[in-house]
Amino acid sequence: MTSKVRLCPVADVKDGEPVGVFLEQLPALAVYNVDGDIFVTDNMCTHGNAMLTDGYQDGGIIECPFHGGSFDIATGAAKAFPCQVPVKTYPVTIDDEWVCIDQPDGVA
């Protein structure tokens, strides 16, 4: 059975204000509220060494703080140059008012 990892309380994630989650043995993650829906992606931009949570959320788009690249928060698709590689997304479940993802494969 896949176990869940709790990232942060849902109430901590305000619409338009992504939250960085840094847990041991997981990649840096970004949690978003888009009009009441919660999404999780890797926090590291696929173009360079920037945390997307330092960028700017515009609706369902997160703009990297470097170089002006951007991603679709729901799908991870690269939306603006120079980003071309999608950012990884994670299916989200809400458990007891916490944002949770499945424990990634290969992580104890």
Smallest CA-to-CA distance from 7 within 49, 36, 38, 44 is with: 38
For ligand FES (CB under 6 A), the number of binding residues is 10
Residue type, 1: M
Phi, psi of 28 (to 5 degrees): -60, 135
Out of 45, 51, 62, 78, name the contact with ligand FES by CB under 6 A.
Answer: 45
Task: Return the number of the residue (12 or 79) whose C-beta is nearest ligand FES.
Answer: 79
Residue type, 5: V
Q: Tokens standing for 64?
A: 């990297």
**Nearest distance in Å: CB 46, ligand FES:** 7
Residue 47 engages ligand FES in binding (rule: CB under 6 A): yes
Can you give the length of the chain in residues?
Answer: 108
**Binders of ligand FES in range 12-41 (CB under 6 A):** none
Q: Which residues bind ligand FES (CB under 6 A)?
A: 45, 47-48, 50, 64, 66-67, 69, 82-83
